[in-house]
Each structure stands twice: as C-alpha cells, then as structure tokens.
Amino acid sequence: MKKVYHEYNKEFEYFLRTEKHLALMVKNRADRWKDSKIAVRHKPYGAWISYTWADFGEQIDAAARGLLALDVKETEKVGIFSHNRVEWSISDLATLSIRAVSVPIYGTDSQQEANYIIEDARIRILFVENQDQYDKARAILAASAVLEKIIVFDKTVSIDTGEEIMYFTDFLAMGRGCGKEEELEKRLRRLSSDDLATLIYTSGTTGDPKGVMLSHKNILAMMFDPDGHIDLGEKDVNLAFLPLSHVFERAWTYFIFLRSAENHYCHDTKKILEFLKESRPMYMCSVPRMWEKVYATVMEGLSKASPLKKRLFTWAIETGGRVAVRKRDVQPIPLILSAQYALADRLVLKKIRAIFGGRTVFYNVGGAAFSAEIAEFFFKTGVLLLLGYGMTECFPICIANATHNKFGTSGPVLPMVKVRLSDEGEIQAQSPSMMIGYYNKPELTKETFTPDGWIKTGDVGTIDDEGYITITDRIKDLMKTSGGKYIAPQKIEILLNEDLFIEQSAVIGNGRQYVSALIVPAFDQLENYARDHDIPFSTHEDLVTRPEIKDFYRGRIDRQTSSLGQVEKIKKFTLISHEFTQEAREITPTQKIRRKVIDKNYTDFIEAMYAGE
C-alpha cells in the first residue's frame, strides 16, 4: 500500500534525529569504519591517492581546529574556490564541524565573479586549489577589506610568503598543534539540524549571483530515500564529476558519505573518459552534454560501418532494449531472449559499457533538458541514465529510478515534495529541502515565493497522471515570433547539440519572422572532415566561411531538426569561429546560455541573418 504524506514526514523526522547534521553524519562513519575501508580517492598529481575513513576523519578534525585557530566564529562564511578534490570535502566538512557556513565558488569563475561572492558573503578565509585560482584570489586579497587568509590545496602552486597565505598541509599541521580540541568538542555538541550549512550562489542566466541559504535539514531532506529506490552501499564507488560547487553534485556526494560508499574525485572534466576507465564508477552525476557527445560519436561511427555491421548493431541494441524493459518492469527474461542477449552483449553492448568502466549501476543526469532518444539508447545498452529535476532553491523535485523511468520526462515527483502548475504552466513546489531564502536579498526572496509559500521555479512543464514531470523550457527563454508563434529554444538546441559536428548552439527568434541559430562547430571533428575532403583552411575563421562547410552544416541541421514543426525550423544560421565562454559571460559555470549576452555580443551576426526581413 502506498504511504501517505504524513507517514513520509514521520519517517523523515526519524531520519533527521538519526543523522541530525552533515558533520556528525560523516564523523559517525569515520568512527565506524576507521582504517577498514577507503572513504575517498583523487589524483591531483597524476597518481591516485587513497584515504581511509580514519584518514579522512582525522584531516577534517585537523582542519576544523585550524579554522578555530584562525578565530572562525559560528555562522561565519568560509569560501572554497576549487575544482573537485579530497581537500574540497575536508574543508567543507571542517567548516560545518565548527558551526560555520561553507560557501563554494566555481573553480572556473573569473576574478570578478569570485570577488562578488567574497564581498557579498564577507568571506575572511578562502581555500583555493590551483595557480589560476590562487592568482585571482591574491589579486582580490590585495584590494579587499574583507578577505584575510588564502589557504592553497595544491602543493605545486607558487605562492607569496606572508602570514596571510599558506599551503593546506601547513594549515593541517597548525590545526593538529593548536590545542583546540576542547573548543572543537564544544562546537560539535552545539550542532543542530537548523544550522545554516551553506550559501550556494546560483550562476543565473540574468543578473548577479544570488546566495541560496540552505540548512542542514534542507540538505538532509535532499538525501532522504524513504522508498529505498537507491540500492547504494559500502561496497560501491561513485565518481564526483560535476563541480561540487553545484547543489546536484554536493548533495549526491553527501549521500555517498551517508551510505559509506567510496567517493572518487574528478578534477578535470576534459579528462572524463580517462577518469571513467580508471575509477570504473557504479554511480555518477552528469549533464546531458556528456551523453550527447558519446552518442554522436557512436552514431557517426555507425554511419560509416558496413551494412552487415549496421544490422548487427541495430539487432544488438533492440535485444538489449527488450531485456532492459523486462528488468525495469521486474519481469522474467525468457531463456531464448537471455541467450540472444548474451550474444548481443558480447558483440556490441559490453563494448559500449566499457567506455564508462564497465560496472555502471546508474548515472544521474540533470542540469539541462535531455533527449529522450539518447536516454533510451543508453538504456538499451545497459547504461541506465536517470533524469532528475530541481533547482538550487528547491532540490530535488523529481527523480527517475530503476523501476520508474519514462523517457522524455524528469521522473516522478518525490514523496516529500508537493508540486503544482500555475495558470501560466509554471512548476511550483514545496519541500523540506526548500531554501531559507536568498542571503541579504529579502525582497528577491519574497518575489521567489508565492503568497501561500510555494517556490516559483521559473520553468514551464507538465505533470502526467502518474506524477512524472516533463520540462519544456524556461519561462524567460520562451520566444514569440513576429507572427505570434511561441518557440521553445531549448527543444531545438537539444536536437542540434546531438550532432557530432556541433559543440554549442544558440537559437534566435524572439520578435523575428523566423528562427535562426548561431552554431559553434566541434572543431576537432570539423578539421578532420575538411582534411578528408581536401577543403583548404588555415584558421577556424577561414574554415567557417568556406561555402562547402556551410553546405555541410545546412544538411546536418536540416536532418537534426526534421521532426520540428515548420515554424520551429532553422531558416538561417551562422557558424561561429570560437566557443561561447564563461569569461565573456555568454554561458554560466553550468554551461547554460545567457541569451541576453549572446544577443548583445553577436548583434552583427544576428542582424545579418535578418537583413531585409
């Protein structure tokens, strides 16, 4: 019998009493496992380094005492400006252990973006990782009335001498020798589920970042799995691939610690295939772009295969799909199908799974809209991609699981979450994970909630009879042509970005007679194509102006968007010789397009596509 809301609420209250606080949750695991198993691994210097739970717990305690030695007060904000690595989690949990507040900054943020967060959150102590982040932080330190101390994770970074800068290893040594054990114990005894845990600054597509205030109760609610859909435990391995600065990876990493699994850290997303082969993770958080690229590579290779190999591939994928559906629906697999699957797996499916290390259980996918076709393809190969949806202010709202997984949706609404649609079709939600508010922005906080306390997501979507959510677009992104037709640009961009030869795309059309697009080619593939077809070029600028290349893309764009309605089809496009970048504020750290910035930065290109309109 399905449980009702108050039963879930009762279970959550018990879960909250049991775990209480993120720092205590991890401390309890460290005390339980000690040196009997690995907690975390990373490879910051080229070789993997492992830490047992005892090592991990000891460094967290040493770092916590080090922060006390630096006179960090309760509720004080401590910054982490770094890519993923073990020290990220150590610094985070040390901060939480003394009732201070952890404030992550994306490792790719510019000096200006980092400075905004440091000033807004009044960050006095800042952890940084590499030379680039250190140089930015050092420049901020020189001019800031707030920042006082920089602590550097990477021992190869060249730092200035002085009391205001130190390496992380020296910081830990200071913590071990400062005699703050009793003060740490006092702080630990005062920890509460209602303590403010973190400020996560949203990398919004418009305006300045906003500091989302989340308590320990909020984050523990993100990890609550009352129906036991996630069978993840102490023998499993996760790869932290997405930035820990993002609520998705952050909450999932805490969940890995909750379940005593082994957490590996990927510090360089450009080397993800290398990390996958070495880590061989059962679980991972990911974004659609990763799967779009792998899918496009597989499909491009298939297009060049012989007719026999194409038929074999198609048969193997369909056989895998028949088995996957039966597993999802908890149905027996007939002997004949089982034998067919064994052959399909040996000849095709196993080779695809090997790309990801070969022992996938499931990988979470979120952060952007995702193609149902690609999700279904990997499902048939045995690589289960489970979509979810949420926002920093209320995360998660819905998540697919192994037995509740509809392609094209973001999964069913979670037990502790209430969802409704506004008259305009906007998704609105209530949940124990819902933010306290925006830091220092009471008016903006008020605007984000409805008068009766529901959070306004800003996303347009639908909810079916079984509670599955489908996101169609952002309200602010919806475009209206001059003819009065509404266009959902993300829908079109998803199709474009599935192509192996397209790296990025931005759809244009608001207030215009027809839809156009700015296309950033995948230049590695395009250069190979040009060489294979004897198309001369010397630079990317030269390449994108070649008539043969424009014709090539015209054909690919038309094929990719053939399923669209006439008003959605791309009439004109322009190839761009360089990527949209975070430095130019054209994309966010999570790779979302800032459309107003794109419109401004590429005005000449856009107007040329509508000349004589």
Of 373, 89, 387, nearest in space to 255 by CA: 89
Of 467, 437, 469, 440, nearest in space to 455 by CA: 437
The answer to whether 199 touches 101, Cβ cutoff 8 Å, is: yes
The model's pLDDT over 57-97, given as tens digits with 9 standing for 90+, comes to 999 999 999 999 999 999 999 999 999 999 999 999 999 99
Q: How many helices (H) and strands (E) does the chain have?
A: 23, 25
CA distance 611 to 613: 5
CA-angle at 165, arms to 160 and 170, nearest 5°: 110
The answer to whether 288 touches 370, Cβ cutoff 8 Å, is: yes
Residue 262 corresponds to which amino acid?
Answer: E
User: Two tokens at 359?
Assistant: 């022992």
- For residue 534, is it left (φ>0), alpha (ψ between -120 and 50) or beta? left
Give me the mean pLDDT over the 14-35 stretch: 98
CATH 3.30.300.30 maps onto the chain at: 478-609
The answer to whether 224 touches 12, Cβ cutoff 8 Å, is: yes
The answer to whether 48 touches 60, Cβ cutoff 8 Å, is: no
CA distance 36 to 410: 38
Please, what's the largest Cα pairwise distance for the chain? 76
The backbone torsions φ and ψ at residue 438, rounded to the nearest 5 degrees and listed phi first, read: -90, 135
The answer to whether 557 touches 517, Cβ cutoff 8 Å, is: yes
Give me the mean pLDDT over the 467-496 stretch: 89
CA distance 570 to 519: 11
Question: What CATH number should be reported for the domain whose range is 19-191+223-278?
Answer: 3.40.50.980
The DSSP call for residue 412 is B
Query: How far is C-alpha 443 from the geometric centre of its chain's CA atoms?
Result: 28
The answer to whether 288 touches 365, Cβ cutoff 8 Å, is: yes
Query: How far is C-alpha 276 from the geometric centre of its chain's CA atoms?
Result: 16
Query: How far is C-alpha 316 from the geometric centre of its chain's CA atoms?
Result: 31
pLDDT for residue 205 is more than 70: no
CA distance 81 to 152: 10
pLDDT given for residue 485 in this prediction: 87
- What is the three-class DSSP state of 568? helix
Query: CB burial class (10 A; 0-12, 13-18, 19+) of residue 337?
Result: middle
pLDDT for residue 206 is more than 70: no
Q: For the CA atoms of the chain, what is the radius of gyration?
A: 25
Question: What CATH number should be reported for the domain whose range is 478-609?
Answer: 3.30.300.30
* Dihedral sign computed on CA atoms, order 558, 562, 566, 568: negative
Other residues' Cβ atoms within 10 Å of the Cβ of residue 298:
18
Residue 330 corresponds to which amino acid?
Answer: V
Of 362, 390, 387, nearest in space to 230 by CA: 362
Give me the mean pLDDT over the 180-184 stretch: 98
How close are the terminal C-alpha atoms of the chain, in Å?
61
pLDDT given for residue 481 in this prediction: 87
Find the helix or strand (DSSP H, E) in which 394 lies.
Answer: strand 394-399
CA distance 523 to 447: 43
pLDDT given for residue 4 in this prediction: 72
The residues facing 364 across adjacent strands are 285, 386
pLDDT for residue 606 is more than 90: yes
| Mean pLDDT of all residues belonging to the chain | 95
Residue 312 pLDDT grade (very low, low, confident, very high; cuts 50, 70, 90): very high
The backbone torsions φ and ψ at residue 421, rounded to the nearest 5 degrees and listed phi first, read: -110, 135
pLDDT for residue 568 is more than 60: yes
pLDDT given for residue 580 in this prediction: 96
The answer to whether 352 touches 346, Cβ cutoff 8 Å, is: no
- Whole-model pTM: value is 0.91
User: Two tokens at 364?
Assistant: 């979470």
CATH 3.40.50.980 maps onto the chain at: 19-191+223-278
CA distance 194 to 197: 9
The backbone torsions φ and ψ at residue 121, rounded to the nearest 5 degrees and listed phi first, read: -90, -5
Structure-token match 């012989």, residue found = 306
pLDDT for residue 234 is more than 90: yes
The residues facing 430 across adjacent strands are 418
pLDDT given for residue 204 in this prediction: 61
User: Two tokens at 515?
Assistant: 């839809």
CA-angle at 443, arms to 442 and 444, nearest 5°: 95
Cβ-based neighbours of 306, under 8 Å, separated by 6 or more: none
CA distance 597 to 453: 32
Residues in the chain: 613
* Dihedral sign computed on CA atoms, order 475, 481, 483, 486: negative
